[in-house]
Structure 1
Amino acid sequence: MALRLQQTGKYVVLSFFAFVSIYPIFLMIASSFKTKQEITTHPLGLPSRFSLENYISVWQKVHFADYFVNSLTISAVSVLLILLVSSMAAFYVARYSFRWNGFLLFFFMLGLMLPMKLAISPLYMMMLKLKLLDTHASLIIVYVAGHISFAVFVFYGFFRTLPKDLDQSARIDGCNDFQVYYKIVLPLMRPAIATVSIVDLIGIWNDFFYPLIFIKSTELGTIPLGMLTLFGEYDTDWNLLFCGLTLSSLPMILAFLFASRQFIEGMTTGAVK
């Protein structure tokens, strides 16, 4: 009896936290179907009718398709470069011993201690001299530089858990250093890749600060900048804003579901068969 009450209490607590986590998402989706008047009068209620008028309006009024493509391009290129550069750097630092090994790892870890936003003035001047202002390249460079430290930290810890016998066996079979990384180590990195990808993708996708600083043209803006146009000086289109937030959150939800599946598969896949 006591064990059953204990289990029931656990399920009640877990259900409560699940409700607290899911309800804001449900409220956002429900509000995207409401009119502006319904959001004001019944903010926590359900919409009187379900219609796609708000979604059609936000797609046309805010030019959401352009902002979506810009955010998708910047996020995809940035995450791919972060994964490529950081995984190779972490592999070299973790699997090889040399004189400056510890100093190089500490250099990467400094990026976790020093936020890049403190250096926004030098970054802006650097992009100005390189003539990269108002380009997607400026955002990609900043994102890669800002997120590579976390990725190296995760990959380094993962590489340290892999036995070096895998490397030696591959070299005996004729693999060079890059083939060891690409053919042996990389397929085992799916848990770490999933973790780094989803954390960096969410941070880059939702970032508002750097696009506001480096992007001036409307056609080059990202989704957070596009949502800013819905805030008027005296009025705000809350129904369209909730539509934009719902549309912008869908790729993140899909990415999380995909990455979580890869994470589970990677954890159940062993190195020795």
Structure 2
Amino acid sequence: MSRAATPARRAGAIGRSAMVHLVLGGYCLLVLAPIALVLLNSFKTRAGIFDDPLGLPTHATLSLAGYGKVLGDAAIGHMFVNSLVVTSVSLVAILLLGAMAAWALTEYGFLGNRLLALFLAFGIMVPIRLGSVAILQEMVALDLVNTLTALVLVYIAQGLPLAVMILSEFVAAVPQELKDAARCDGVGEYRIFFQVVLPLIRPAVATVAVFTMVPIWNDLWFPLILAPSEQTQTITLGVQQFVGQFATDWNAVLAALSLAVLPILVLYAVFSRQLIRGITAGAVK
């Protein structure tokens, strides 16, 4: 009976595995197809883009005019720098403050601990864009409109709740024996956090970094509201200058979008192993 059932189980397992791979492959195709379409058409002439948007660049349609215009525009370079500054500063602050808050919430019992955790969970459920008017009024009162500081502060507030909730699960999983042994050796709390806890939760930190960076880099809403001036425009907002009411420079638009995707792809390539480890570790908790 068991021998007869074994081939059936194997066939069922193979079928389920094939189905899972088919679904994941379809999802990857759905996600990567638009990116591939943008990259392919960024190397075409305007006529080639409209005549055959799904085809590969040919000798007749190959053109680097869009990249020449984008790379030759000093304002675009300045926008890239703005995006890099805002994203990197926000990311470092979110990871550092989020990890420290997760350590405090999981390691120390204090009055209002659960209430604070609930407050952070509420920050995940309520989109920050609902408070755009109040945020704008606050930035006007603080004289921070058209500054990168305004964007950094908003993105820190936006990313902290999710970072704390994710990192709290991983910090809580650090063996208590390691921390107690360090305390017995006279190690201070800051050194325990930075030298014992942080190295053990690197996969979670990488996961939070990727999930936090993408919405910050791609955001158009808050740069348009809080920092629309030429000196503070980000690359996502800057691409709009190639979009006109009557004529759109699609070569430049697609080239700028292709270059804007590069930092995210590089970050994923660098942290892909840690990202996958963090996701799979969170799946079994």
Give your verdict on TM over 0.5: yes
| More displaced stretch, 43-52 vs 187-196 | 43-52
Q: Are the structure 2 counterparts of residues 237 and 62 from structure 1 closer, same or farther at C-alpha, using a change threshold of 3 Å?
A: farther
| More displaced stretch, 158-167 vs 220-229 | 158-167
What corresponds to 1:215 in structure 2? 227
**Higher RCO (CA-CA < 8 Å; seq separation 6+):** 1
Q: CA deviation at 1:219?
A: 2.2
CA distance in 1, matches of 2:74, 2:46: 17
Q: Are the structure 2 counterparts of residues 177 and 230 from structure 1 closer, same or farther at C-alpha, using a change threshold of 3 Å?
A: same
Matches within 5 A, 1:1-273: 3=11, 6=15, 14-49=24-59, 50-61=62-73, 63-263=75-275
Q: Are the structure 2 counterparts of residues 91 and 135 from structure 1 closer, same or farther at C-alpha, using a change threshold of 3 Å?
A: same
Contact 1:28/1:246 (<8 A) preserved? yes
Measured against aligned partners, the alpha-carbon deviations of 1:28-72 in whole angstroms (never above 9, x if no partner) come to 111000111111111111122344332111222473211111000
Letter in 2 for 1:28: V
SS at match of 2:131: helix
SS at match of 1:33: coil
Measured against aligned partners, the alpha-carbon deviations of 1:128-160 in whole angstroms (never above 9, x if no partner) come to 111111100000000001110000000111112
What are structure 2's unaligned runs of at least 5 residues?
A: 1-6, 281-285
CA distance in 1, matches of 2:108, 2:141: 38
Q: CA deviation at 1:220?
A: 1.4
- Superposed CA RMSD: 2.3
What corresponds to 2:3 in structure 1? none
Letter in 2 for 1:55: Y
CA distance in 1, matches of 2:19, 2:204: 34
